[in-house]
Amino acid sequence: MLKRIGVLVSGGGSNLQALIDGVESGLIPGEIAVVISNKPGVYALERASNHRIPTVVVNPRDCPNVVEFSKAILAVCQEYQVDLVCMAGFMRIIDRVLVEAYPNRILNIHPALLPAFGGKGMYGHHVHEAVIASGAKFSGATVHFVTAETDIGPIVTQEIVSVVDQDTPESVAAKVLQVEHQIYPQAVKLVMEEQFRIEGMRVLYSKS
Ligand code: GRF
């Protein structure tokens, strides 16, 4: 059973807060061992400190390249004996060196229904602008295993929100963020209990 979670953050940390709340409510059968940010002074770090969770800043500016940045993050995860890495509002690309150290043990939450509206440039308000411009009637959030490719990996869970005529990128973002906070703790619980198998890009829960 996976027990110790390492959370990677870059900003406000509302998804981190949802995971903290999930641990403290008993929903998530584990503990957050460390919160790692690529930026100092972000509110996510304050959220962690408010709950007496150790924090570490790994600044890419202190690393010569993305491989060394990823190795520095990996070193912190190993130091804190992390079993499961959760990217929560983490805005940096990581190198396969971290993915290979944690095969199907890194999760990310993306504010759209992957594989649509994912990949290069699809972050923050850009995602919601593209959703509205596309005429899509639904958007939502996706929790997926992280692979060496951006926003591509076996999907653990998704939840939809409706997109109506009056919606703006901001209003869609707000609806999606609410759903993110619901599905991320549930996804972490599912993965920690290891009641699934992966077949290609599919995460299957059936016992058969
Ligand atoms: C959220 O929209 C999330 O989908 C994306 O980063 C944004 C901020 O997340 N990954 P948080 O409030 O820092 O958790």
Assigned domain for 120 exists: yes
Give tens-digit pLDDT for 154-182.
Answer: 999 999 999 999 999 999 999 999 999 99
Assigned domain for 23 exists: yes
Assigned domain for 207 exists: no
Q: Which atom of ligand 1 is nearest to the CA of 110?
A: 4
Neighbours of 205 (CB within 10 A): 10
Q: What are phi and psi of 138, to 5 degrees?
A: -135, 145
Torsion from C-alpha of 97, 37, 31, 96, nearest 10 degrees:
-10
Q: Which residue's alpha carbon is nearest to atom 12 within ligand 1? A: 14
Place of tokens 């944690």: 102
Assigned domain for 208 exists: no
Q: Of 19, 55, 46, nearest to 180 (Cα)?
A: 19
pLDDT higher than threshold 80 for residue 1? no
Q: Is the CB–ligand 1 distance for residue 15 below 6 Å?
A: yes
Nearby residues of 171 by Cβ (< 8 Å), 6 or more positions away? none
Per the model's pLDDT, the better-predicted residue between 11 and 149 turns out to be 11
Pairwise CA distance, residues 92 & 29, whole Å: 28
Nearby residues of 177 by Cβ (< 8 Å), 6 or more positions away? 14, 111
Assigned domain for 18 exists: yes
* Number of domains comprising the chain: 1
Assigned domain for 37 exists: yes
Centre of ligand 1 to C-alpha 103, Å, is 23
Q: Is 128 a catalytic residue?
A: no
Q: How confident is the model at residue 208 (pLDDT cuts 50, 70, 90)?
A: low
Q: Is the CB–ligand 1 distance for residue 180 below 6 Å?
A: yes
Our mutation pick for probing the ligand 1 site, out of 107, 110, 122, 177, counting the most ligand atoms within 8 A of Cβ, is 177
Centre of ligand 1 to C-alpha 89, Å, is 4
Give tens-digit pLDDT for 20-61.
Answer: 999 999 999 999 999 999 999 999 999 999 999 999 999 999
Assigned domain for 71 exists: yes
Environment class of 12 (CB within 10 Å of its CB; exposed 0-12, middle 13-18, buried 19+): middle
Range of the domain at 129: 4-202
Pairwise CA distance, residues 71 & 60, whole Å: 11
- Whether omega before 115 lies within 30 degrees of 0, making that bond cis, reads yes
What count of residues does the chain have? 208
Nearby residues of 147 by Cβ (< 8 Å), 6 or more positions away? 99, 153
Q: How confident is the model at residue 2 (pLDDT cuts 50, 70, 90)?
A: confident
Structure tokens of 53?
A: 């969770």
- CATH number of the domain enclosing 180: 3.40.50.170
Per the model's pLDDT, the better-predicted residue between 150 and 51 turns out to be 51
Give tens-digit pLDDT for 86-141.
Answer: 999 999 999 999 999 999 999 999 999 999 999 989 999 999 999 999 999 999 99
Assigned domain for 174 exists: yes
* CB environment 140-163: b (16+ within 10 A), e (fewer): bbbbbbbbeebbbbbbbbbbebeb
Helix, strand, or coil here: 26? coil
Structure tokens of 86?
A: 């959760």
Q: Is pTM, for the whole model, over 0.85?
A: yes
